Chain A
Amino acid sequence: MTRMERRNLRNGILFALPYLIGGSIFMVYPLVMSVYYSLCHYNIITPPTLAGLANYRALFFRDEVFWKSVYNTLYFTAFSVPLSLILAVGLAVLLNQAVKGQSVFRTVFFLPTIVPIVASAVLWLWVLNPESGLINGMLREFFNVEGPGWIADIRWSKPSLILMSLWSVGGPMVIFLAGLADVPAVLYEAADIDGAGPWQKFRNVTLPMLTPTILFNLVMGLIGAFQYFTQVYVMTAGKGTPADSTMFYALYLYRNSFVYLKMGYASAMALLLFLVILAATVGVLISSKRWVHYHGE
């Protein structure tokens, strides 16, 4: 190593020291303990006792609810991530044009991220109430149609939650707005000269320029969707009703850890989740080399 490299190495580590220390204490230490617990029977109250791969065997071969939770989570991720990306891009494109009251609109779409969860859940339970709720009420009044059972209906419970998750599209939207603002006007002018219409401009200029942002939101979206917990916990009182149709992976993990006191089992689930998210993220990052265009310095 040259002297320069050594100096950079030293400085690099020095500056990163806060998280190197902090991450080790607050993240790596629990991670290591989780791995340990996953190989134990641990009920939180008495000290853990080693059990080898028993938890993993039970998960894979003897637990129906585990597989249901995997299916539910994949279902949710498969729909909510693309839908929210598309909606966020769409909203950002709409709001990027000089529309009157831009700031107000942006605030409105960001609102859901700010409203307390307890209030949102209660509001959504009303919105989705099949009897007297907002959606079915309007369907009845304006279209004379009887809406579905939403959160109470096995077939509609996951779509209801997906719908709810779209409501928090404000965060990614704002990030896309920034990405859009970064697109050089020159490119649009050139496209105009070539006689491109709005759709072509979007497809050939906006979208490629937006790919770095899409990557960021995609990774964040995936991590969030795989760990989806809070909303479904509040909406179903932690139960995943009806009939486990909304028993998501993180919810089942929660039940195992703090309700059934099977912390070892929950740790095994957490470790599997960690590996899956890591694999998915690395996969996306590797594939990104092919479809992400970083505009030059």
Chain B
Amino acid sequence: MRATYIRWVLVIAACAVVVALLWPSEAGSPDEKAALEEGRVIITYWDRHTGHEFDERKALIDEFNAVQDEVYVRALPVGFTMEKLLTSIAGRTPPDILSTEGSILTALAPQHCVMPLDGFIKESESINPDDFFPHMWRAVTFNGHTWGIPITTDSICLLWNKRAFRKAGLDPERPPRTMAELIEYASKLTVRDAAGLKQIGFLPWLPWDHTHMWGSLFGGKWFDDASGRFVCGEDTNIIAMFKWMQSFSIDPNAEKQLPYALNPEMVAAFRTGFGAYMSANNPFYSGKVAMTQEGEWQASFIPRYAPELDWGVAPLPQPEGAPPRSYSPTCVLDMIPAGAPHPEAAWKYIEWFNSPRPGGRPSPASDYNRAISNIPCRRSEATHERFMGDPVFSVFVKEVLTKETPVIPVTPVAQYFVDEVERERELVVLREKTPEQAARDTENNCNAELDRILAIMKRDQS
């Protein structure tokens, strides 16, 4: 008996020692502790980006911590899982600053989750709403308030593989400029051999769904800002766009197939292939797709992943008569959640980040954009040499500088809309729905969802 007692005591003691040895670090780095001693205000910053993008942000935050002594920012990468953000909001422990995308903002702001920044902006000398691209400012300003400061934006253009052009007998320096040319080139660039499909000319839904974009490029109107409703149901341009999408898949009833039409399942396979996008196996890099639609970050991706690729960039073609438009899906922005413990300190950081540095040097936001190859949201910054100087990158920038740029509808059901439109497109391509049906269903389903959300919000406010 005694022996067993002693053994148990020893076991417990050993466990205690092990646990003590493994005792984890506390929250708060030595720098932060020092800042606390100095009497600085400690604020938390959460970034939905991880990896390279977060590292760049962190470097700039370290700079901020070093150049002033009132505020200390603790930066945390939290990733794209919604659970962390939502639990902290529901549990009333939000961060002071959150860096996220536009579609998240439009979902959270109407639910009183975000602090309006109008007061801060009015008093600020360096943040001028007019300097921002109108489409970016509109993405963060709705329901009468401005909810965030946009930091990065994108623009989508047509990329083509010059070697593939040469092989098909096309001039490698001349991209298609009209829809007719796009289809003609796609036909010539769709190569099949005895084994099957070897090269895809063009597909509107590679590398991911762009249905929203093409609807706009066709001159269609998905959403009416004034009334806040979806209006695409009978829009002839939207329907034309769906029809055009459908033409890219084989029509089982047609006698003769369009030369650029493909078997949709084969095509669906490209999308989800391993390493389909973020690597050297990207179908565009590896020559399986001759023309594609991509964003400006490719200017730094391609030299990295596919240095041998010979490629060109040009604006996306649009149908005749459509208003000249470019496209920017959304933006990355900084916002202050409602209930943040230190909003003034948070604003100090945001203002610093978006203002030119002393001596006329570019702002940290501009540095950040350069580091991750995105386009700044301010005209004054986007026209800077560091972005316009590169012949490839400048094509992307010119698009947003010179054309009207729709973004994803600024509505609480933005995420739902994006999913819904993709679903409709899939069904149209698989020929399980007509283009007219798809347009109508998009409008009806999204409006129904919108009504539901609005009813709930109204109920909560009363």
Binding site for B on A (CB under 8 A): 41, 43-47, 49, 122, 125-126, 129-133, 146, 149-154, 236, 239, 241-244, 258-261
Say which one of B16-24, B107-115, B141-149, B304-312 lies at the interface with A.
B107-115
Closest chain-A Cβ to B220's Cβ sits at a distance in Å of 23
B289-316 interface code vs A (CB 8 A; 1 in, 0 out): 0000000000000000000000000000
Q: Is the CB of B430 within 8 A of A243?
A: yes
Asked if A44 meets B196 with Cβ closer than 8 Å, knowing A132-B273, A153-B268, the reply is no
From B272, which residue of chain A is reached at the shortest CB distance?
A: A152
A-B residue pairs, 5 tightest by C-beta? A126-B274, A130-B269, A152-B268, A258-B82, A125-B274
Residues of A near B81 (CB, < 8 A) are 258
A-B contact pairs, 20 of them (CB 8 A): A47-B460, A49-B456, A49-B459, A122-B274, A126-B274, A126-B275, A129-B272, A129-B273, A130-B266, A132-B273, A133-B273, A133-B274, A149-B266, A149-B268, A151-B272, A242-B268, A259-B82, A259-B415, A261-B86, A261-B111
CB–CB B274/A46 < 8 A:
no
Chain A residues, Cβ within 8 Å of B65: none
In the complex, chain B residues whose CB is within 8 Å of the CB of A133: 273-274
Measured in the bound complex, the distance between the Cα atoms of B112 and A44 in whole Å is: 11
A10–chain B nearest beta-carbon distance, Å? 24
In contact, B426 and A46 (Cβ under 8 angstroms): no
Known: A49-B459, A243-B430. A153 touches B111 (CB 8 A): no
Give Cα distance in the complex from A67 to B273, angstroms: 29
Which residues of the partner chain A approach B83 to less than 8 Å between Cβ atoms? 258
| Residue in B81, B111, B272 whose Cβ sees the most chain A Cβ within 10 Å | B272
If A47-B460, A261-B111 are given as contacts, then 11 extra A-B residue pairs at C-beta distance below 8 Å, sorted by A number, are A44-B86, A45-B90, A45-B112, A45-B113, A129-B269, A129-B272, A132-B281, A146-B196, A152-B271, A258-B81, A258-B86
A44-B423 contact in complex given A130-B266, A149-B269, C-beta closer than 8 Å: no
Q: In the assembled complex, which residues on chain A have CB atoms less than 8 Å from the CB atom of B415?
A: 259-260
B427 in the interface (beta carbon within 8 A)? yes
The distance from the CB of B339 to the nearest CB of chain A, in whole angstroms, is: 10
Asked whether any CB of chain A lies closer than 8 Å to the CB of B385, the reply is no
Least CB separation from A131: chain B residue: B273
Residue of A nearest to B416 (CB): A260
CB-defined contacts of A130 to chain B, threshold 8 Å: 266, 269, 273
Chain B nearest CB from A149 CB (Å) reads 5
CA distance A41 to B108 in the complex (A): 16
B423: chain A residues at CB < 8 Å are: 243-244
Are B111 and A43 within 8 A (Cβ)?
Answer: yes
Complex Cα distance, B426 from A58, in Å, reads 25
Shortest CB-to-CB span from A275 to chain B, Å, is 25
Interface assignment of B352: CB less than 8 Å from any CB of chain A: no
CA distance A146 to B416 in the complex (A): 36
Tell me the interface secondary structure of chain A in the complex: loop
With A41-B456, A125-B272, A149-B266: A239-B419 Cβ-Cβ less than 8 Å: yes
Residues of B within 8 A of A126 (CB): 274-275
B454 interface residue (CB < 8 Å to A): no
B218 nearest CB across to chain A (Å): 23
B266/A45 in contact, CB under 8 A: no
CA separation between A149 and B281, bound complex, in Å?
18
A261 touching B274 in the complex, CB below 8 Å, given contacts A45-B112, A131-B269: no
Chain B residues in 8 Å Cβ range of A47 = 460
B265 at interface (Cβ–Cβ under 8 A)? yes
CB pair A129–B274 under 8 Å, yes or no, is yes
**What residues on B are CB-neighbors of A243 within 8 Å?**
423, 426-427, 430
- A129–B113 Cα gap in the complex (Å)? 41
A66 CB → nearest B CB, Å: 14
Q: Which residue of A lies closest to B86 (CB)?
A: A44
A122 to B274, CA, bound (A): 7
Q: Given A132-B281, A243-B426, decide whether A44 and B273 contact each other with a Cβ distance below 8 A.
A: no
Pick from B196, B273, B416, B430: contact of A125, CB below 8 A. B273
On chain A, the residues within 8 Å of B111 by CB distance are 43, 45-46, 261
Chain A residues with CB below 8 A from B90, complex form: 44-45
Query: Which of B196, B265, B419 is close to A149, meaning CB atoms less than 8 Å apart?
Result: B265
Q: Cβ of B117 < 8 Å from any Cβ of A?
A: no
Q: Is B89 an interface residue (CB 8 A)?
A: yes
B64 cross-chain contacts in A, Cβ below 8 A: none
Q: How far is the CA of A129 from the CA of B272 in the complex (A)?
A: 7
CB nearest neighbor in A for B275 = A126
Contact with A along B59-85 (1 / 0, CB 8 A): 000000000000000000000011100
B406-436, CB < 8 A from A: 415-416, 419, 423, 426-427, 430
Least Cβ distance of B65 to chain A in Å? Answer: 31
Query: Which residues in chain B, 168-182, are within 8 Å of chain A measured between CB atoms?
Result: none
Query: Contact partner of A46 among B82, B112, B281, B419, CB < 8 A?
Result: B112
B426 touches A242 (CB 8 A): yes
Closest to A45 in B: B111
Whole-angstrom distance from the CB of B197 to the nearest CB of chain A? 9
Q: Which of B82, B265, B270, B427 contacts A131 (CB under 8 A)? A: B270
A252 CB to closest chain B CB (Å) equals 12
Which partner residue on chain B sits nearest A258 by CB separation? B82
Q: Whole-angstrom distance from the CB of B62 to the nearest CB of chain A?
A: 28
**Complex: A145 Cα to B407 Cα, angstroms:** 45
In whole angstroms, what is the CA distance A243 to B81 when docked? Answer: 22
Chain B residues, Cβ within 8 Å of A122? 274
Chain A residues, Cβ within 8 Å of B281: 132
B456 proximity list for chain A (CB < 8 A): 41, 43, 49
Q: Are B108 and A45 in contact (CB under 8 A)?
A: yes
Residues 240 to 273 of chain B near chain A (Cβ within 8 Å) = 265-266, 268-273
* A153-B269 in contact (CB<8A): yes
For B84, give the chain A residue with the smallest CB separation: A258
Closest to A155 in B: B265
What's the nearest-Cβ distance from chain B to residue A128, in Å? Answer: 8
Nearest chain B CB to A87 CB, angstrom units: 25
CA distance A125 to B83 in the complex (A): 25
A152 CA / B423 CA spacing, docked (Å): 14
**Complex alpha-carbon distance, A226 and B246, angstroms:** 36
Query: Which residues does chain A contribute within 8 Å of B112, judged by CB atoms?
Result: 45-46
Residue B265 contacts which of A129, A152, A241, A244 (CB distance < 8 angstroms)? A152
Give chain A nearest CB distance to B405 CB in angstroms. 26
